[in-house]
A = this chain, B = another copy of it.
């Protein structure tokens, strides 16, 4: 049973990822002339091998309430552009100063810091350009209200606020309240709005929308805790030693504050909560169920 599900999940993720990748290629094709460099920088990070979690969740959410994955594509892809811009800017020397992401040199290492800042700016702007098109089958009122939700989730009261808090928390002692603030703003907000956007486009009823939003919040936070855990576990593997002594200081993570075991418990509790939120739906919610379980079991 588990094995069967796992295969289906892989297939589901693979087909959806391909749909997203093809659409992103259409929305942001290569350019020649004076635009070639900035476009190459934007595409470099956009096609750097992400899991496309946010757009896939957006599609899976729409499918859950009877929507069509094609209709949500521009919204799903715009959210992926926003996610990508945030990674480019987070990696900058003035932020996390990362040289590699997914084993590839970060944007500023390849294109220089100036162009990396601009490539991020351009992806963010392009996302809103894509969102503000006329979308067949979606009323302009709905489009506007989704744009507003996305801008709120991505803005200084959402994702950017989380990044500011993360920046300020570096090498300071932080408490659970601050870690939760960072995680809910930096990661959860954009994941939740991905799911809400899919549901809103598919015209979900109020109760369905509210259940899907709760699923989004729980999955979004579980995903970030899983990320924290993986950070530590991959360190252990690479360094061949327990880095648990770092817990309680340094980075603002769940394991650093409450330890690996408690973090795993909290993550599983959130995933169980997410699963119970979508109990109300039929088998069309299976992708959402699989993704939630996948988060608790993922190895990368």
Residues of chain A touching chain B, judged by Cβ–Cβ distance below 8 Å, are: 34-35, 37-39, 42, 85, 89, 92, 94-95, 112-118, 120-122, 124-126, 128-129, 131-134, 139-141, 143-145, 147-148, 151-152, 154-157, 160-161, 163-165, 167-168, 181
Contact = CB atoms under 8 A, between A and B. Distances in A.
A98 to B, nearest CB: 13
A121 B37 CA distance: 21
**Most B Cβ at <10 Å: residue of A118, A141, A167:** A118
Nearest to A124: B124
A38 B159 CA distance: 12
A157 B35 contact: yes
A129 B152 contact: yes
Copies in the complex: 2
A118 B160 contact: yes
A17 to B, nearest CB: 25
A37 B147 contact: no
A173 to B, nearest CB: 16
Nearest to A120: B121
B126 A38 contact: no
Contacts of A122: 155-156, 160
Nearest to A37: B164
B134 A113 contact: no
Nearest to A163: B118
Contact of A126 (B134, B147, B155): B155
Nearest to A159: B125
